[in-house]
Amino acid sequence: MFLSWDVGAHFFVSEENSASVTSALKIIRKWEPNWQPRYMLSDQSSIENKSINMAFPGITRGEQNCDVILCSVHIMRTWKLKIYVKETEAKMVRAMHNRTQIGCDALIEDTIATCPVSPVAKCMPKYF
């Protein structure tokens, strides 16, 4: 017999801080104590990333493999704020939309190489 299911949960907090987000994740985890998520979708938030590691300590100890996937809407919003050169911004948006198509790697590499904002260019590779 083959069993497969996906856990999905949402929560709302009155304050987005590590304590409330960690608490919400721990409540969700109580529903299935043996749950070891392989992926989590998160906003581009250090609070959420820290809370995920606190609620699932096996991740930081290397006992659990869980990738945190950042929401592309939030990433794009941040890049639009940080990349003030319109040509580079347009290339980055095009690269994000073409990520799964042939030739996208060259477009991404070109965008990073020509980005005039050094801190942004340095952080781009970790999102691709």
Q: Could you tell me where the DSSP H helices lie in the chain? A: 18-31, 46-55, 72-82, 86-97, 104-114, 118-123
Listed in sequence order, the residues at least 6 apart from 11 whose beta carbon sits closer than 8 Å to its beta carbon are: 24, 25, 27, 28
23-44 pLDDT, tens digit each:
998 998 888 888 778 888 888 7
6-21 pLDDT, tens digit each:
667 788 888 889 999 9
Residue 30, classified by CB atoms within 10 Å of its CB into exposed (0-12), middle (13-18) or buried (19+), is exposed
Q: What is the pTM of this model?
A: 0.57
The amino acid at 76: M
- What is the distance between the alpha carbons of residues 80 and 75, in angstroms, rounded to a whole number? 9
Q: Any idea where the domains of the chain sit in the sequence?
A: 18-70, 72-127
Least confident of 24-28, 30-34, 55-59, 113-117: 113-117
**Rg of the chain (C-alpha set):** 18
